[in-house]
Structure 1
Amino acid sequence: MGPDGMHAQVLRGLADVIAEPLSIIFEKSWRTGEVPEDCRKANITPVYKKGKKEDPGNYRPISRLSVPGKIMEQLVLDVIAKHIEDQEILGSGQHRFTKGKSCLTNLIAFYDIITGWLDEGRAADVTYLDSSKAFDTVSHNILIRKLRKCGLDEGAVRVQSEAGIPPWIEINDVNIKVFEMNVSGSRCVTDEYKENYFS
Structure 2
Amino acid sequence: MEGIRELNITGIAGVNEKCEQFAKMMFNAYNISCPVAVKRLSVKRALSPWITKELLNCISRKHELYRLSKEDASFKDEYKEYRNSLSSSINYAKKHYYVTKFTSCINNAKKTWKAINEILGQKSKNSNVAKISVGGTVTEDPSIIADEFNRHYVSIADKLSRDIPGSNKNPTEYVMRSIFSFVYFPTDESEMVTIINSFKSKNCNLDSIPSFMYKHVSDIVSPVIALLINSSFEEGIFPDVLKISRVLPIYKAGPRDKVINYRPISILDFLEKKFERTLCNRLMKFFKKYNTICDQQFGFRQGRSTSDAILQYSESIYSAYDASEYVISVMLDLSKAFDTVDHTIHTIPCIPCR
Place the TM-score, normalised by the shorter chain, in its bin: 0.5 to 0.7
Give the number of equivalent residue pairs: 151
Q: Does 1:13 align with 2:221?
A: no
- In the TM superposition, what is the alpha-carbon distance from 1:48 to its structure 2 partner? 1.5
Q: Which structure has the bigger radius of gyration? A: 2
Q: Does 1:43 align with 2:260?
A: no
- In the TM superposition, what is the alpha-carbon distance from 1:144 to its structure 2 partner? 1.8
- In the TM superposition, what is the alpha-carbon distance from 1:23 to its structure 2 partner? 0.9
- In the TM superposition, what is the alpha-carbon distance from 1:40 to its structure 2 partner? 1.4
Structure 1 gap segments, 5+ residues each? 155-199
1: CA distance, partners of 2:252 / 2:283:
31
Choose between structure 1 and 2: higher strand proportion: 1
2:351 is matched with which residue: 150, 157, 162? Answer: 150
Q: Deviations over 1:62-86 (max 9, x none)?
A: 2112111110011111112221111
Q: How do 1:7-156 and structure 2 match up within 5 A?
A: 7-131=210-334, 133-145=336-348, 148-151=349-352, 153-154=353-354
Identity %: 24
1: CA distance, partners of 2:263 / 2:289:
34
RCO comparison, higher one (Cα < 8 Å, 6+): 1
2: CA distance, partners of 1:134 / 1:69:
24
Choose between structure 1 and 2: higher helix proportion: 2
1: CA distance, partners of 2:342 / 2:294:
22
1: CA distance, partners of 2:221 / 2:351:
34
Q: Deviations over 1:107-154 (max 9, x none)?
A: 211222222222222222223222464244333432222xx4134x34
TM-score w.r.t. the length of structure 1 is 0.68
Q: What amino acid does structure 2 have at the position aligned with 1:40?
A: K
Q: State the superposition RMSD in angstroms.
A: 2.0
2: CA distance, partners of 1:87 / 1:19:
30
2: CA distance, partners of 1:2 / 1:141:
33
Structure 2 gap segments, 5+ residues each? 1-203
- In the TM superposition, what is the alpha-carbon distance from 1:29 to its structure 2 partner? 0.4
Deviates more, 1:134-143 or 1:26-35: 134-143
2: CA distance, partners of 1:59 / 1:49:
6
